Amino acid sequence: MSTSVASTDRHDVPGTCHHDCPDSCGWITTVEHGRAVALRGNPDHPYSAGELCPKVNRLVRRVYAPDRILTPLIRTGPKGAGEFGPASWDEALSLVAERVGAVIDEHGGEAVLPWNSAGTQGLIQMSSLDRPFFAALGSSRGVGSVCGLAARSGFSMTYGSGRGADPSDLRHAELVLLWGTNTRLTNRHLWPVVEDARAAGAEIVVIDPMRTITADAADWFIQPLPGTDTALVLGMLHVLVRDGFVDHDYVAQYSTGFDELARHVATWTPERAGAACGLEPDTIERLARRYGEASPAFIRTLIGAEHHEHGARFFRALGCLPVVTGSWRHLGGGLARSVGSWADVAVDDSVFDAPHDTRTFHAGQLGRTLTEADPAIHALFVWCGNPVVSHPQSELIRRGLARDDLFTVVSEQFLTDTAAYADVVFPATTQIENLDVIPAWGHLYLGWNEPAIEPLGEAVPNTELWRRLAAAMHIDDERFTWSDEELIGAALHDIDVEELRSTGFVRLPLPDPLLPYAEGGFATPSARAELWAGDLDPVGAFVPDHMPAIEGADGLGHGEYPLVLLTPKLHVRFLNTTYSRHHGELESGPFVELDAVDASARGLGDGDVVRVYNDRGELHLPLRIGDRVRPGVAIVPWGWWGAAQAVNALTNDAATDCGSGVAYLDTRVEVAPVTPA
């Protein structure tokens, strides 16, 4: 297999999908005379095994799409109108240096804000040389994110780190709980492993407030009310303790706080938990007994359940289940969430850090930051993201981006809803045009991504963008002289880089099988799982003082806005907001779905165009009447571009209980006819 970009004959180049997706599939790009002609899954990849998803298997078309941005652009029309003229790199860099320099001269470095998301989750293209660049400017800092941190923070309260089981080990389980994760859609390469477990006799249980395609394929589907998962865990713990499913030997050796936990959950009878979750007490009894009896039982969870105001607390509580039953002892037991926390056995991205002790803003609250920061932000850099569509309070973000006294720089491949507000847009490469390494968060393989073709037009990798900006702004740091290979080499350790580069993937240097806590070894100061409040628990015990989605969250009146809004990914051909412009026509378009009871109560019929609204915004969408949600809950899937289609116009941007993350799913709305009767 060739790895040369310079070759002009037909050859294959190994790479790795860079998207914010747990699967990090290995792929092969076929190149003919310097042009990519095909992209397919790498059949040798141990996890993705030769399959790419419908989102990515058309990537080559996107690379060569006629509306790709291939030169720098400078705004010529009103902000948001998307009117730009082409510019040379020198012109665009000079303009940025002049305008950002003027902002710093007048307002100081903290008037500059960098913002990125995970449009690529590659080691060097997502975030590397941006760090010394913005540290040198003395910019403000965006901290936290919308996803991942609440789960990791809550899990760490119990375990001391975010490290859990290898998801692929669920094939050895007797019972698999897929908790708040739509595996068949958003973690599709794990589904064959789930089917393997079922073929070997495992029961597959899905716990989700929405009937997903994964729920349809489960042996047992449990549908609690949104935001009540912690109560369900506490009810299960009540039964496990009451009925003697505790592994007292494991608990005594490897945990602290069991007695306090047992006293606490004594009050969480199945009746109390069932009332909170909207489930029959018998459902909780049966689920807990199955969990206690199974040897072993495996819990697979991902992102969804953290998007509540008590999101961290849920993961803290969930982590107690496999400790109490001692299922960590067994291959096929325990709990898996993101396995990204394991990557640091081979990856140290702190080599890109620079001293940078300035004011911070929650990166998930960009709208508030751009409209409320005092002193104000006057220069914004955006890369690897489209926050107008992907982030909450999108109308507030638009208002901030429209400010005349804000200078905005965006690095993008296409003119997204966010890029339309930029003053300068720099052309970004796609994954088959740049070098990177991908630390996965759904499996234990590190992926290499060799550039298969030369960058199109004048597009550059993000690393090169920071080098050019640093030169234009006269910023010196030795790392700006490093090549991409040198950046990667500096960050990798304990791994054979040549093997990684030649095969396209290599397993992290971890025991195989993993069995992380079979004999304790938790990362807490006591080296034990902390089952009760301790120094690690800033919220005290994990007593849910209220259930956000049903009692008091969102700050909106529940009488005026009686429906809980879920904003899941239901589309199969685009990922977050990427591909939405090019593959969106292959999907049905956004819609709102209600249960028949709620539709009838509002005099709404299937197919009606209805208003979905709250104090933050309003969407007009076709109504589907279905059975995916319970009464009191509405669905609007997210990800489509366009002002009239971004469901994040409605969503809550409150931080979760760890101070980071976003409580998207504690959003209240009402649905009504477009023209009130």
Residues that bind ligand SF4 (CB under 6 A): 17, 19, 21, 23-25, 48, 52-53, 55-56, 188, 575
CB of 25 to ligand SF4, least distance (A): 3
Closest to ligand SF4 by CB, 53 or 566: 53
Name the amino acid, one letter, at 112. Answer: V
Cis peptide before 513 (omega within 30 of 0): yes
- Closer of 19 and 630 to ligand SF4 (Cβ): 19
Nearest distance in Å: CB 52, ligand SF4: 4
* Chain length of the chain: 677
Residue 65 Cβ, how far from ligand SF4 at the closest point, in Å?
A: 18
Classify each residue of 389-402 as buried b or exposed e, where b means 16 or more C-beta atoms within 10 Å of its C-beta.
bbbbbbbbbbebbe
Amino acid (1-letter code) at residue 489: G
CB of 20 to ligand SF4, least distance (A): 8
Nearer to ligand SF4, 142 or 385 (CB): 385
- Minimum CB distance to ligand SF4, residue 380 (Å): 28
Q: What's the CA gap between 307 and 119, in Å, rounded?
A: 20
Of 160 and 451, nearer to ligand SF4 (C-beta) is 451
Phi first, then psi, for residue 336 (nearest 5°) are -120, 130
Instruction: Work out whether strand 73-75 and strand 84-86 pair parallel, antiparallel, or are unpaired.
Output: antiparallel
With contact defined as beta carbons under 8 Å apart, do 145 and 363 qualify? yes
Smallest gap from residue 41 Cβ to ligand SF4 (A): 8
Closest separation in Å from C-beta 200 to ligand SF4 = 24
Q: Which is nearer to ligand SF4, 130 or 450 (CB)?
A: 450
- Asked whether the CA dihedral 655, 658, 659, 660 is positive or negative, the reply is negative
Q: Which is nearer to ligand SF4, 40 or 356 (CB)?
A: 40
CA distance linking residue 514 with residue 526, whole number of Å: 22
CB of 173 to ligand SF4, least distance (A): 23
Residue in the block written with tokens 């991504």: 449
Q: 24 or 230: whose CB is closer to ligand SF4? A: 24
Q: How far is the CB of 161 from ligand SF4 (least distance, A)?
A: 24
What is d(CA 55, CA 57) in angstroms, rounded to the nearest whole number? Answer: 6
Query: What is the closest distance, in whole angstroms, from the C-beta atom of residue 58 to ligand SF4 in the complex?
Result: 11
Closest distance to ligand SF4 from the beta carbon of 314 (Å): 25
16 phi/psi in degrees, rounded to 5: -140, 135
Decide whether 23 or 484 has the Cβ nearer to ligand SF4. 23
| Minimum distance of ligand SF4 from residue 442's CB (angstroms) | 8
CB burial readout 140-176, b (16+ within 10 A) else e: bbbebbbbbbbbbbbbbbbbbebbbbbbbbbbbbbbb
- Measured CA to CA, the distance from residue 53 to residue 109 in angstroms comes to 43
Bond preceding residue 544 cis, omega within 30 of 0? no
Backbone φ and ψ for 566, nearest 5 degrees, come out as: -105, 140
3-state SS, residue 435: coil
Half-sphere exposure of 571 (CA within 13 A, CB side): 25
What is the closest distance, in whole angstroms, from the C-beta atom of residue 192 to ligand SF4 in the complex?
13
Residue 184 vs 398, nearer CB to ligand SF4 = 184
Q: Give the Cα separation of 432 and 63 in Å (integer).
A: 8
Of 439, 411, 676, 665, the C-alpha closest to 548 is 665
- In the chain, what is the straight-line distance between the N-terminal and C-terminal CA atoms, in Å? 67
Whichever of 303 and 425 has its CB closer to ligand SF4, that residue is 303
Q: Please name the residues in contact with 27: beta carbons below 8 A apart, sequence gap of 6 or more.
A: 14, 15, 16, 17, 39, 40, 41, 42, 52, 56
Chain centroid, CA 522 distance in Å = 25
Q: Residue 257: helix, strand or coil by DSSP?
A: coil
Phi, psi of 361 (to 5 degrees): -135, 150
Q: How far is the CB of 120 from ligand SF4 (least distance, A)?
A: 11
C-alpha 434/C-alpha 184 separation (Å) is 30
Burial of 82 by CB count in 10 Å (0-12 exposed, 13-18 middle, 19+ buried)?
middle
Distance, in Å, from the CA atom of 524 to the CA atom of 555, rounded to the nearest integer, reads 35
Query: Between 28 and 246, whose beta carbon lies closer to ligand SF4?
Result: 28
Q: In the bound complex, what is the minimum distance in angstroms from residue 472's beta carbon to ligand SF4?
A: 34
Residue 386 has which token pair? Answer: 């489209």
Cβ atoms of residues 326 and 250 within 8 Å: yes
- In the chain, the largest separation of any two C-alpha atoms, in whole Å, equals 73
Residue the block writes with tokens 């080499």: 489
Shortest distance, CB of residue 17 to ligand SF4, whole angstroms? 3
The residue among 189 and 398 lying less far from ligand SF4, judged by its C-beta, is 189
Choose between 386 and 393: whose C-beta lies nearer to ligand SF4.
386
Between 189 and 378, name the residue whose CB sits nearer to ligand SF4.
189
Mapped onto helix, strand or coil, the DSSP state of residue 371 is helix
Looking at beta carbons only, is 23 or 247 nearer to ligand SF4? 23
**Of 49 and 541, which CB lies nearer to ligand SF4 in the complex structure?**
49
Three-state SS letters, 232-247:
HHHHHHHHHHHCCCCC
68 close to 432: Cβ distance less than 8 angstroms: no
